[in-house]
Amino acid sequence: MTCMEPSSSSSAEWKATASQEEQWALEHHVFRIYQLFCKIPPKSQAVMLELQRDNHIDYLMKGLRQLGPSFSVLDANRPWICYWILHSIALLGDCVDEDLESNAIDFLSRCQDQHGGYGGGPGQMPHLATTYAAVNSLITLGGHKALSSINRGKIYSFLRRMKHTSGGFSMHDGGEVDVRACYTAISVASALSILDRELIQGVGDYILSCQTYEGGIAGEPGSEAHGGYTFCGLATMILINEVNRLDLPSLTDWLVFRQGVEGGFQGRTNKLVDGCYSFWQGGAAVLIQRLHAASGGEAEDLFQSHALQQYILLCSQVEGGFRDKPGKSRDHYHTCYCLSGLSAAQFRWPKDADSEPLPGFVLGPYSNLLEPINPLYNIVFDRYDEAREFFTESDDA
């Protein structure tokens, strides 16, 4: 770590920046947890490393049934809450009962706009982000009722309306144009088997304009490289088969240096570690590893998988849910992306979608093993496969 050196004529003492103070405080907190872990007996260590599966499922099921008044600030994000919870439950190998499933499908259907796309709630304007969340939720629920409730023709029309002259997409009518919009649009179109040349046209050029001098990808041209946008940009370029246009060595260099001494990932240079980047950065690393493997390259880990799993299990996990970091509260967003990152780390080198990783790939007891995801969409593999087959058969009918 560096500090500003005073000039030789100055008697002022060196002073740490606010971000350095925050980083040191977090490291102190995290290392205290790790030191405690190292000092306890092996049986106690095994307990600390255990995924509290039942507690997490209980927390998630309660959230799906009813949320408190403090969640009113997320009124425009209700399909996201559905996705965070339903995807987390699926990752844990469980599913909702018939009543909850039916209620979720009915609610999301009421969020579907008559002209295509899904809004943040019934009667709200359609938005690409909530369309992605709603579609992923329905694919995760699976079955004929959920999948047939998606009006693919109207969603395609909505995506075409969101297409921007820059090559990217607007998040909503008159909304911002950014890499997140590109990803949510292309991911939805690909998952629903409606992706075509008109939607792809110019997307690669727009994302290339957002890759920064650091190597990562920003939300828009001229902004700072960011973990969430880097995942979105990389996944989009893979989905449209233009990934080799990116400067992948530079992107990889930026990515690998985002894993901190705590074991988790930070989202940007000189920022604190955050559990959600276990997926946004860890998932991006897994995508690059698989690109290397597919091209016949050497199988080499781009991140310390056990260190990441240790951070998730010891620092982000609480008794029912996950948090950003020690000292923060649990929430459904971080629960979703901590579990998604944990799955990506466990299945970082699968031979195929159905193969389970070797025990050495899973930190803690093997019962910690989660369901594998398709990292391009962040959907559990078997649910994605079911949807793919369903929509293919619908096209053939």
Q: How far is CA 158 from CA 128, 163, 173, in A?
A: 9, 9, 10
The neighbouring-strand residues paired with 163 are 169
Identify the CA nearest to 287 among candidates 205, 360, 377: 377
> Alpha-carbon distance 140 to 93, whole Å?
12
Identify the CA nearest to 337 among candidates 87, 110, 29, 142: 87
Identify the CA nearest to 166 among candidates 124, 225, 209: 209
Q: How far is CA 317 from CA 49, 55, 338, in A?
A: 10, 11, 9
Point out the residues that are catalytic: 226, 268, 271, 274, 276-277, 324, 331, 334
Residue 358 CB contacts under 8 Å (≥ 6 apart), including other chains: none
The sign of the dihedral angle between the CA atoms of 149, 60, 313, 280 is: positive
The neighbouring-strand residues paired with 374 are 379
Identify the CA nearest to 301 among candidates 232, 348, 240, 246: 348
